[in-house]
Homo-oligomer: A and B are copies of this chain.
Amino acid sequence: MTRIHVPVSLRWSDIDAYGHVNNAEMLRLLEEARIRAFWADDSLGADADAPATAVIAGGPGADTITLIAGQQIEYLAPAPYGRRPLDVQLWIGRLGGASIEICYEVRSPVVDDAEQEVYARASTTLVLFDVATNSPRRLTDAERSTWTEYLEEPIAFRSR
């Protein structure tokens, strides 16, 4: 089981009046993990820091835009603020022709051997969209072969 691990730091402003990470803000954390895991844009700098899966030439001005077709999320436990980054784990639930399903588990920070709490599980359907032709484009061979390693069962959500 090969997952991409992206540490994502919380901000105190992610916490809402209930004292936990806000439900919509949780999708921002997913977005940040997804971009760091999949975009390979020179302009982001520090490409040495990018994971091996970062092979989409993404970002504004790029040839490919990544459109989000849909998302699903399940909240398992309230996530508190803390100094250490959350451990967002990502994998590919499905490799389609022009789309991929990205799956996530948002976990409590990695602290020694302590067991982690799972705050949320989610999935995003991402469509690769070619700016020049204004239409979806097929995954490249490079994308497909890179991501196949991270293919795992999609999340079985409790409902729907």
Please give the residue numbers on chain A whose beta carbons come within 8 Å of chain B beta carbons, in ascending order. 8-9, 11-13, 15-19, 22-25, 27-28, 30-32, 35-36, 43-47, 49-50, 59-60, 65, 67-75, 80-84, 109, 111, 123, 125, 157-160
Contacts and interface: CB of A to CB of B under 8 A. Distances in A.
Number of chain copies forming the complex: 4
A160 B159 contact: no
A73 B44 CA distance: 26
A11 B25 CA distance: 12
Contact of A71 (B22, B23, B125): B23
Given A24-B27, A32-B11, A36-B83, A18 B65 contact: yes
Given A9-B9, A16-B17, A74 B82 contact: no
